[in-house]
Amino acid sequence: MSAARAPRPFVIAVDGPAASGKGTMARRLAAHYGLPYLDTGLLYRMVARAMLDAGHDIRDAEAAAQIVESFDEAAFPEERLRGREIGEAASVVAAVPAVRAGLLARQRRFASQPGGAVLDGRDIGTVICPDAPAKLFVTATPEVRAARRHKELIGRGEAVPFDGILADIRRRDARDSGRSDAPLKAADDAVTLDTSALTVEEALAAAIGIIETRRAA
Ligand code: CDP
């Protein structure tokens, strides 16, 4: 008698540009489906934080390659990772191929948990979990994303002009989309969800609708 085949883990890949709402969406989807959640942007932010803490130039690719081999996730509470400066620095270290390679295994390990997982980032559907059965590419206009990030930073006590945030978003889009290793782009089999005119609840309902269609397929 052959053993029953274990069901394939149900992985939901959520990709998209900075401040597109993908983090909120991924967290809510994880709660909805009872799956563990990994914000992969935090890993790049940890590498950037460790670089800055050690006094390295953020563009020093060799130092970043060494740090990615040795950094301790537990040493970086989330409040040290969310600031404006760290988002920018993370996108610089994220363009270093050795950094991406160094973070690949732990993301795949997380995704291969028995029941599945929700991961959000830039390359989950294209590189980390190309076989994920459900892939969303969450986006919004640069102006809407800048307004969301502006509100978030003000809530954290970082007073920054809106125009500066919009410039950050555009620069980060260009860097994340233009890098040669795992550039930000929708996987061929991802469904794009533009949240510019949607509330969080509307976007979540749309995402669940897309995922249920995939699950039924
Ligand atoms: O929250 P926000 O969208 O601003 O950024 P994040 O998701 O925390 O990611 C910070 C930076 O890490 C991004 O600008 C990307 O350059 C990089 N990143 C990446 O390259 N691949 C991922 N899977 C996640 C983040």
Instruction: Please say whether the beta carbons of 121 and 135 come within 8 A.
Output: no
Protein residue with least CA distance to atom 6, ligand 1: 41
Strand partners, 117: 11
- Ordered structural domains, the chain, with CATH: 11-216 (3.40.50.300)
| pLDDT tens-digit series, residues 20-37 | 999 999 999 999 999 999
Residue 89 Cα to ligand 1 midpoint, Å, equals: 10
Amino acid identity of 205? A
- Ligand 1 pocket mutation, candidates 22, 107, 122, criterion most atoms within 8 A of CB: 122
CA of 39 to the centre of ligand 1 (A): 9
3 has pLDDT over 70:
no
Taking the C-alpha atoms of residue 210 and residue 208, their distance in angstroms, rounded to an integer, is 5
Instruction: Name the pTM for this structure.
Output: 0.93
d(CA 195, CA 202): 9
Beta strands in 72-133 (DSSP E): 116-121
Q: Which atom of ligand 1 is nearest to the CA of 19?
A: 3
